[in-house]
Structure 1
């Protein structure tokens, strides 16, 4: 009888273990948000938004897939307990069987030979090893089940979003996938991972971007979604995800949208560190509490806010870390977007200096949020974002502020060179074009700087200066031959990159705070009213057309294959054709 029980318990444990492993792989291959059948139906719904039968079919398939998914997770939990029980019973049965089969020796007649002693010892080691292996298998399976259970985040605050042509939808579940390997350089170039794109200069190589749309009528709008909190940060895009931030005096949030349909996949609150909950910065309405744009490496999105809090979330809403840089001393509000380089988050943290604090360039470890290095800067408060440039001889982090353009080594923070300027309240970020750093010092001049110098290069490495086209808010954009500057008063000036000479100058019916973007050979300039002027990047002004968001905007456009993402005062827009 004991023999039968031992055999049955072993077979039972083996079968349960095999079924659990099969269930684990099944669960990982059937995440609810990754069902191609549902995605196909959603695509069909865009063409027939009033098809109620199609909507019901999507709901039914979605519900069925989720029920199957959660049922599988429940069965994994039950299976873990059954496997553990079966293994324990099998070990007990085998031990009992071995004891019962032993012939009781007569001490007077039986003398243990050396080989018998060795065999007994080997048997004990085999039984002990087998027990350890089975117990380890049970524990590992349990861990796999727990990891699968964490593959779904249930967001208690159900987000309702309006998707163009689809009505109100609820999304309460987000699939979790482990961090993949670091992306390649080509991945950064095909996405829009940071403020003003992969180079920080507002340029995209895509030539199939749309040139006609209207936000009010919905013409040329794939979808538009209301953003929960206000902000002046621009969208960043990686694959099927769009990230944006929003904040007010009390709350700071990071948002993740589905780039295909605008669904708000998750919202994560960025809570201040303990003891800093009442940390409220001084901001201007033209800057607000969420002006810096996020940056992503394709696995984690990093965001910084006006109060000095910086967060890191993976693509599935798991908080990686939160750091507190301190309250920025900035009379208009903090606006510098972070830059990513070699596993470090680089932050231009310029300070007004009222209480003796100095401006700094800070590098945080992208994986942990811990400070790697910091470098003091000889400047006061400013509003530009730094850019990372590749000179061919190495990378440089170029920063702008009142009085100086300064280049740093992004790996150590060491100052490489500087140019003394005369600007004040500097807001435009620099760009790198035609082998030159082009910097607009507000209330001063435009400087074109050769980046191969060392130390103070004010007298030796300034290729040209210009007083024509000095912008005050928007950053310039260039195709490598020409460079374009947008002034808040509604004027756009085109200069020659090599000489700095004016090529053309034109006034528009609008005001410009948003930085222009270049896609292919077309420049997109968003006005504060939401009108978008599209013209060729050419030596003669040639208008292509004018489009409209239907609401005000001070944010820069983000370009990906065949689409433009823009943030308005209220909504996030995806522009293109279905």
Structure 2
């Protein structure tokens, strides 16, 4: 049984490619039922960061105070620093008193990646046997509680020299954890690290749209919504969206997509029954940015004019969905009204419509996902240029280059407590005051290259570096040994 509001995989796959004028209205859902989401543990009501960029991919955490000053050399303001085996660009996630993250451990001790700004599309030659793992850490101390093995073997494809074999961030709803390792598969675990199911999605050949021989690997992360896990798999072959039962891995629907490879994570706009707005599953893509009914995979709207390579995740408020991409020459930013239907593509020379209140060309971000905070939109280019816009109108407020050493920016900005946190690949973490004018509060060398987006929880910033995870916001430094928590099978 696929469950209420869904269609069997075969029927849904067909309906997802149907024309956009299908009169069947999408289901308008209220809040998740108690069975769909585990209750918040006592004392952690606002501390969850359950998936890439947190709840709803917002990149924003509530509460205060949040750190502004710390020192990684002296340990001031650093709660812990725990070495993590292997290589990964996936972010940590938080549920209750646990921190979860993935890694890919190569049998080659010298395995690494190349950071920085460069145009090479080369793939790594690291085709050694890898262990693909999910780890749990104590959120307060950094101690590795357990390591669980998802699978082991030679990767089915290569990776970009800047990438790893664990680029994706896991997701949890407090009942289960899902981890995605691209061509190695999709895996479901219980909260104690027991492997419940695995799903082979086939070899996902992702690389340059204009050079099919390139192999860059996947980076889109899974999301959990209403008891189902949703993954976006845009490849050189058959591209598709897939929803599976989070308890069993059984396919609920699969929607084929006419899209070249992409690397963005999908987002669910939750809808608003009071305003008659149904949930929308929004995906970034080169041919079209699209909105789907997340119950069925049926396409609701599409918007052309994107870049040929897309990586940022769609973000939203109650009134707008914002999607950007940074490959030249298009580099667009689009603001879309929820509830729009049909083909929303703007005619040449037009920058707005009733469904698209505003758009910009030449200002989108390449890797980092934009941030919506306190009525403003912040867009961080991979060269370290931070743009701020009025969210409602798209008016530019400022454009400022961060004082970095010249490396790139791959991690997405996050915000909490009246501060923006921006991670540079060279290892600096910048603290910026939000507002209509640029104001740099602090620059902190973290001692490691930073590729992953930080996680935020209860006044602590969890920063994943090249070889460790650090907790910023504590009172003393604690260095953990690398041998804690042996892998489970």
- State how far apart, in whole Å, the 1-side matches of 2:190 and 2:399 are: 45
Structure 2 CA distance for aligned equivalents of residues 188 and 202 of structure 1: 17
**Cα shift readout 1:423-449 (whole Å, capped 9, x = no counterpart):** 111111121136111111222111111
Which of 443, 464, 479 is residue 373 of structure 2 equivalent to?
479
Q: Partners in 1 of 2:98 and 2:90 — Cα distance?
A: 16
Correspondences of 1:500-511 after superposition (within 5 Å):
500-510=394-404, 511=408
TM-score (norm 1): 0.65
Q: Secondary structure at the match of 2:55?
A: coil
TM-score with structure 2 length normalisation? 0.77
State the alpha-carbon separation in 2 of the partners of residues 311 and 204 from structure 1: 27
Q: Distance in 2 between matches of 1:285 and 1:499?
A: 39
- Deviation string 1:11-67 (CA, Å, 9 cap, x unpaired) is xxxxxxxxxxxxxxxxxxxxxxxxxxxxxxxxxxxxxxxxxxxxxxxxxxxxxxxxx
Q: Distance in 1 between matches of 2:204 and 2:161?
A: 16
Counting only pairs closer than 5 Å after superposition, residues 300-315 of structure 1 correspond to structure 2 as 300-315=176-191
Rg comparison, structure with higher value: 1
SS in 2 for 1:299: coil
The secondary structure found in structure 1 opposite 2:284 is strand
Which residue number corresponds to residue 143 of structure 1? none
Match of residue 419 from structure 1: 303
Please name the residue that 2:172 is paired with: 296
Aligned 1:387-398 pairs, distance under 5 A? 387-392=267-272, 393-398=277-282
Q: Name 1:523's counterpart in structure 2.
A: 420
Distance 2:183 2:76 in 1: 39
Query: Could you tell me which of 255, 265, 281 is aligned with 2:135?
Result: 255
Q: Structure 2: which 5+ runs fail to align?
A: 1-34, 107-127, 208-215, 347-352, 476-489
| Correspondence for 1:196 among 53, 64, 76 | 53
Pick the aligned partner of 1:183 from 30, 38, 50.
38
Name 1:574's counterpart in structure 2.
471
User: Conserved in 2, the CA contact under 8 Å of 1:426 and 1:441?
Assistant: yes
Higher relative contact order, structure no. (Cα contacts within 8 Å, ≥ 6 residues apart)? 2
In the alignment, which residue of structure 2 is the partner of 1:462? 356
CA distance in 2, matches of 1:320, 1:328: 23
Structure 1 segments, 4+ long, off by >6 Å, are 185-188
For the Cα contact (< 8 Å) 1:339–1:386, is it kept in 2? yes
For residues 185 and 426 of structure 1, the distance between their equivalents in structure 2, rounded to whole angstroms, comes to: 34
Q: Deviations over 1:545-571 (max 9, x none)?
A: 222311110111111112111100011
Distance 1:194 1:335, change over 3 A: same
State which of 283, 292, 310 in structure 2 corresponds to 1:399: 283
SS in 2 for 1:199: helix
Range moving further from structure 2, 288-297 or 184-193: 184-193
Structure 1 equivalent of residue 232 of structure 2 = 348
Contact residue 280 and residue 307 of structure 1 kept, 8 A: yes
Query: Which residue of structure 1 lines up, in the alignment, with residue 249 of structure 2?
Result: 369
2:339 to 452, 457, 460: 452
Offset at residue 279 of structure 1 (A): 4.8
Aligned equivalent of 1:336: 220
Query: Is the 2:411–2:451 contact (alpha carbons within 8 Å) kept by the matching residues of 1?
Result: yes
Write out aligned runs for 1:481-496 (5 A).
481-496=375-390
1:211 aligns with 2:87: no
Is the contact between residue 36 and residue 226 of structure 2 (CA under 8 Å) also seen in structure 1? no
Cα deviation code 1:515-543 (max 9, x no counterpart): 00011321100111121111122011122
**Pair 1:434–1:492, CA change in 2 (3 A):** farther
Distance 1:280 1:526, change over 3 A: same
Unmatched 5+ stretches in structure 1: 1-179
Distance 1:325 1:188, change over 3 A: farther
Conserved in 1, the CA contact under 8 Å of 2:315 and 2:321?
A: yes
Quote the residue 1:283 is aligned against.
159
Structure 1 CA distance for aligned equivalents of residues 254 and 39 of structure 2: 27
Q: For residues 154-176 of structure 1, what are the alpha-carbon distances to aligned partners after superposition, in whole Å with 9 as ceiling and x for unaligned? A: xxxxxxxxxxxxxxxxxxxxxxx
Cα distance change, pair 194–325 in 1 and its aligned pair in 2 (3 A): same
Q: From the two aligned structures, give the one with the greater helix fraction.
A: 1
Which residue is 1:383 aligned to?
Answer: 263
**Which SS does the other structure have where 1:191 is aligned?**
coil
> Conserved in 2, the CA contact under 8 Å of 1:405 and 1:418?
yes
1:237 aligns with 2:117: no
